[in-house]
Amino acid sequence: MNLSFYQDENTWLHRLDPRTKTIGVAIVFAICLCFNHPLYTAGIMLAVLLTALSARVLPLFRRMRFILALLILFSSILWPFFAKGPTILWQWSVLTVSRESLLFGIAMGIRLATFVMAGVILLGTTKNEEITNGLIKMGLPYPVAFALSTALRLVPTFAGAGATIVQAQISRGLDLESKNIFSRFGKLIPLAVPMFITAIRYTNLLAMALESRGFSPDGLRTLYCEPKMKRQDWIILFSLSAILAIFLYLRLALSIGVVMPGRM
């Protein structure tokens, strides 16, 4: 089963410098924070979706559709109880739901999902080594850059091990189909313990393999695929910064795209 994020294609996003993509994602995160009106955040999400379409990473979104749906759903259900707005729709003892808080909840859900999507686009179009090399080029020390990118790379590996562990325990009679959420909680131990053991063994082996192949945190190292900033990279970074600046102006000076003033 192939669980890694990277989609081996050759689109304009794949060809961009990893630094551009890393900084670009950071700017997109900031853009997401500009508005808290669901229509505006939905617009941003649509733009991210179109980018994903052109980078041919939509299959990754399909794979993560449950997580994305859950983020939007939970946020829309839970936020209204915590954020307070003036137009009360429903009230029961201390619990109130207002029109503003409902919209805010939806906006927050879309924002979270957009965060995840932007991150997934980065991982889906950038090889792990490119991310490492990009981070090094941005001045991060090699061990830190390597640790960061290895952590990202291990997520799918451990997800795969986790799936195997669930299957192994189901085969032994572990009943994960029962509806009772409390009894389910106690059933986590047979899954969590082997997960830890597997992770520890795996990282231990990985450390051995790395050292055996001459990995040394302080050593001078050639970057086989050295990232190079091209014209497109500068254009993208400039446009994204410009969009961020405009959005900040809209929000801060003109208060556009806001349902809950005073909240991010």
**Which range touches other proteins (CB under 8 A), out of 34-42, 83-91, 215-223, 234-242?**
215-223
172 forms part of the interface with other proteins (CB under 8 A) = yes
Phi-psi region of 61 (alpha: psi -120 to 50; beta: other; left: phi over 0): alpha
222 forms part of the interface with other proteins (CB under 8 A) = yes
H-assigned helices in 126-188: 128-137, 142-171, 181-186
Candidate list 66, 224, 231, 261; residue touching other proteins; CB under 8 A: 224
Residue whose entry in the numeric block shows the structure tokens 């993560």: 64
CA pair distance 52, 58, nearest whole angstrom: 6
Total binding residues toward other proteins, as defined by CB under 8 A: 57
Candidate list 143, 226, 245, 249; residue touching other proteins; CB under 8 A: 226
Candidate list 208, 229, 246, 252; residue touching other proteins; CB under 8 A: 208
CB of 264 to other proteins, least distance (A): 36
CA distances from 151 to 57, 169, 246 (A): 21, 26, 35
H-assigned helices in 83-98: none
- Taken as a whole, the chain contains a residue count of 264
Residues at the site binding other proteins, with contacts judged by CB under 8 A: 1-4, 6, 8, 59, 63, 127-129, 150, 153, 161, 164-165, 167-177, 189-194, 197-198, 201-202, 205-216, 219-226
